[in-house]
Amino acid sequence: MSLTLTTVLLYVGIAAFLLTLLMKFVIKNTDHPILSFIQNYCGVLFIFSGWVKAVDPLGTAYKMKDYFGEFHSTFSETWLSFIAPIFPFFSEIAIGFSVGMIVLEIVLGLMLIMGNRNKFAVWTFFLLVLFFTILTGFTYLTGYVPNGSNFFDFGSWGPHDSNNMKVKDCGCFGDFIKLEPFTSFLKDVALLFPAVLFLIKSKSMHRLFNSPVRAGIVGLATVGLLVYCLSNFVWDIPHADFRPFNKSKDVRAQKQIESDALAETKITAWKLKNNESGEIITVTNADYMGKDPNKNYKKYKGHYSVEDQVKSESPIPITKISDFLIENTDGIDLTEDILSNPSANFLIVNYRLKGGKTVEKKRIVKDSLFTVDTMNLGDKDAEMIVKQFDKVVEREESYTDYIWDQGYLEKHAQLKPFTDAAKKARIPVVMAIGGADEMQIKDFNEDTGLNLTYGTADDILLKTIVRSNPGIVLFKDGKIVDKWHINKLPSFESIKI
């Protein structure tokens, strides 16, 4: 079932209302029902928003990397550049940061509902909401910053343009609900009000259970949530998949639907940049392409350059399925071979080859030398060139070797019996790799011995398809039949194809 933010907030409100009734008339532990309702509401909301991210911690980590990357480039160009070096470090630990934040969010929700360690809970709630507000506010406000300008160069800000936003989705509810950045920002600003209220009224907030029970629940929840988060990317793929490439998805049909929808979008305006002043103006498509010589592109030619096209909105949401494109190293499209095959075929996803450090090495190469002679065939004009083997000589040559992560190679050694069995059964297997060139792929194939058909694809697309590196996807007639984490890959014989 597809839920909207309004529906989620309504359900959260119903749950908080029922909890408050229970506390007021059954448990009888609250003297401030309105404050208790707000306390329960924020607690339930944090538990829910944390859970939909706990299902897919990698997704949150990828989103945080986007933020850290943008913060790094933004601060690097200002007098606050001394802050910038911390963001690459945060990017390196993005998954640990994300898991910690998710667990904290859910545990904090529990603490609010139980009234556990109120002083700590309310200050943590305030700071976390403030952190989320900064993220969502940054996301939305970058829409006012033209391309090529820095966020802190406020004088360059212009009209809001969603195309300028550096991060398109805050990830507040993971992939469960996609929120417009402005909606996310308003939600977090609204949460600041109860956050401040809790700071003022912390002594009046209700409590459930006694202190040891509350502490025990928080401890067990923390450990359980850590294990749960890890189970959704370290040992297995997420048990609930809210992304476009979920099991049973007809990728071929959806790709065609989205392609048709995109074809229906029309250019409504043009963003032009003055070649001298750098001023950005927007002219309607009718004016830009009109026949009136005073109101068409000839008027702007030489004075303005095209910055962007403004298009009408698609009639349906466009997903990463529209970007599903896999090409081999020669640029030949493999997408149709995967999606149009009526029989089973496997896609192995490698969004990043781990390791890949280069080492210059030398090796001995043997060359065969030949002598060439001319043989007269009896006729003075009839001659034949004869090539005869002479000897073998050895020479030294330099070459580049790639050193792959050993644990990563072991995963592919685990994969090889599966792909060998698939090839033996004449089932096509394609490995899609992100961010690798032909030389890297060739070396990787030699080191793994997989001998597959290799393609390249956008790494973000590959991360969206399956949360495992490598991950295995079974397609049949354009549909995703099943997919597996490398650590949960069953034997080939056990798969029903």
Lowest model confidence (mean pLDDT) among 112-116, 191-195, 299-303: 299-303
Span of 43-52, 97-106, 228-237, 283-292 with lowest mean pLDDT: 283-292
Domain assignments of the chain as residue spans, ordered by start: 5-231, 266-312, 321-354+405-494, 361-397
Across 6-35, average pLDDT? 92
**How do the residues of the chain divide into helix, strand and coil, expressed in percent and rounded to 5?**
50, 20, 30
**What share of the chain has pLDDT > 70, as a percent?**
96
CATH tag, 321-354+405-494: 3.40.30.10
pLDDT(331) > 70: yes
Do residues 444 and 402 touch, judged by C-beta distance below 8 A? yes
Q: What is the pLDDT of residue 145?
A: 86
CA 49, 54, 55, 59: dihedral to nearest 10 degrees? Answer: 90
Decide if pLDDT at 295 tops 70. Answer: no
Confidence (pLDDT) at 294: 54
How confident is the model over 50-70, as a mean pLDDT? 91
Residue 201's pLDDT is 93
Residue 32: strand, helix, or coil: coil
Given a contact cutoff of 8 angstroms between Cβ atoms, the answer to whether 403 and 355 are in contact is: yes
**Cβ 112 vs Cβ 217: under 8 Å:** no
Q: Contact 495/474 with Cβ under 8 angstroms?
A: yes
Q: Provide mean pLDDT across the span 230-245.
A: 92
Could you read off the pLDDT of 180-223 as tens digits, one per residue?
888 889 999 999 999 999 999 999 999 999 999 999 999 999 99
Strands 344-350 and 429-434: parallel
Q: Quick one: which of 48, 211, 46 has its CA closest to 114?
A: 211
Provide the pLDDT confidence category of residue 413 given band limits of 50, 70 and 90: very high
Say yes or no to pLDDT of 1 above 50. no
Could you tell me which residues come within 8 angstroms of residue 413 by beta carbon, excluding any fewer than 6 positions away?
Answer: 448
Under the banding of pLDDT at 50, 70 and 90, the label for residue 225 is: very high
Distance CA(69)–CA(91), nearest Å, equals 7
**In this structure, what DSSP letter does residue 250 have?**
B
pLDDT for res 298 = 63
SS3 call for 239: coil
Instruction: Look up residue 206 and give its two tokens.
Output: 């209700």
Give the other-Cβ count within 10 Å of 197's Cβ: 17
Rounded CA-CA distance 466/453 in Å is 19
Is the bond leading into 293 cis (omega within 30 degrees of zero)? no
